[in-house]
Structure 1
């Protein structure tokens, strides 16, 4: 990424990658759909029951597998597997307000199905539930929490997603919204596009970023490779 500014805070316009990619890999929550309110309702109730400071805890759980978040807390007498399953049941029940990121449905529907995948920290049952709630069709390829032994920021998910599409991660563009996922994409060797639709504050990463998909589209280049382009 030779033409990227170190900080987009000072960049006067949105920049897009000029490279054509063999595949696109999308995180789910916060990247193609907005489940922020629902997730924070469920996790907030759990955190309060555990005696945690809810306001400081909630930002730490986004983009990671539930079991990884709970295990990292080292709460005495708590079984992370059982607690993660309890939270999962709550998240599956509560999809109120889950909606697509603006323009995501149109953007995804224009992609060749064999050229893109979802790589999410959510378990498969929750991923399917939220996709249905947001009106986003299930993709042909999806990597979920059950498919990896270590979650984001470990790159395992994005490496596996690339393998399932038959491409090298260096030939893929990862779409992400939080640091754990961004770091996972970086570690996999992929380029990264940051989606800022659900951001409440600036994340300075040096990567391209867009607020959503309303103003961009996909162009199919020679050999079926994918380009992100502005509409019009």
Structure 2
């Protein structure tokens, strides 16, 4: 997988990529959708990978202020952290990365992102780009470009780990190489990109210039 390819840094989405927060998120969004009279089953798949304010704005519901509704949803999600767990192997894999060579770029607000990472026991990187840090959310590439820039690199030289179509599109628009994480997918996702179901067995090697290459973990080897 990417044999011989070295990357300047690794950039990660959060929900569905390094943590599984689907149950908690869908509990909160189900209640909201029911109050709006939406078809819950049809609506829930659309919430993943995008900022709440853009998801709500896209519905164009009469009398609904997307900013106020997104703020209310943030409070509800921050209060419901039950069942949030790491994607298999993610804690060990993230812990193995050079601290200055990885970042998280999430559609979640920073407050919620930190709460969910803590609940899942995920290492907190030095660089986090959250919903409020960009004007345009995924599928725009802004969050990944900003995360790479904060690390001192160009997104085109990075490997981006993503799970949702909006995030994959954002990574593609940033010109990065993409790794799709399928751990939370209920149906196969058609994608031209490399894909893994978990981080188990995945390791890295780092060259003398800091370039990172994927490799089998020592335990797997």
Please indicate the TM-score interval, normalised by the length of the shorter structure. over 0.9
Name segments (4+ residues, structure 1) moved above 3 Å: 15-18
> 3-state SS of the aligned residue for 1:24?
strand
Question: Aligned residues, how many?
Answer: 218
Q: Which residue of 2 aligns with 1:163?
A: 149
Say if 1:113 and 1:140, in contact at 8 Å, map to a contact too.
Answer: yes
Q: Which residue of 2 aligns with 1:142?
A: 128
Q: Which residue of 2 aligns with 1:118?
A: 104
Q: Which residue of 2 aligns with 1:49?
A: 35
CA distance in 1, matches of 2:136, 2:4: 32
The one-character-per-residue Cα deviations of 1:163-187 (angstroms, maximum 9, x if unpaired) are 0011111110000001000000000
| 1:186 and 2:172 aligned | yes
The partner residue of 2:86 within 91, 100, 110 is 100
Q: Which residue of 1 aligns with 2:95?
A: 109
Shift of 1:204: 1.2
The one-character-per-residue Cα deviations of 1:106-132 (angstroms, maximum 9, x if unpaired) are 000010110000000000000000000
In structure 2, the CA distance between the partners of 1:218 and 1:76, relative to structure 1 (3 Å rule), is same
Q: Which residue of 2 aligns with 1:208?
A: 194
Q: Which residue of 2 aligns with 1:151?
A: 137
| 1:79 and 2:79 aligned | no
Q: Which runs of 5+ in 1 are unaligned?
A: 1-14
Shift of 1:191: 0.3
CA distance in 2, matches of 1:120, 1:169: 15
Q: Which residue of 2 aligns with 1:33?
A: 19
Q: Which residue of 2 aligns with 1:175?
A: 161
| 1:217 and 2:209 aligned | no
CA distance in 2, matches of 1:228, 1:124: 28
CA distance in 2, matches of 1:17, 1:43: 41
Over the residues paired in the alignment, what is the CA RMSD in angstroms?
0.9
Calculate the TM-score normalised by the size of structure 1.
0.92
In structure 2, the CA distance between the partners of 1:108 and 1:122, relative to structure 1 (3 Å rule), is same
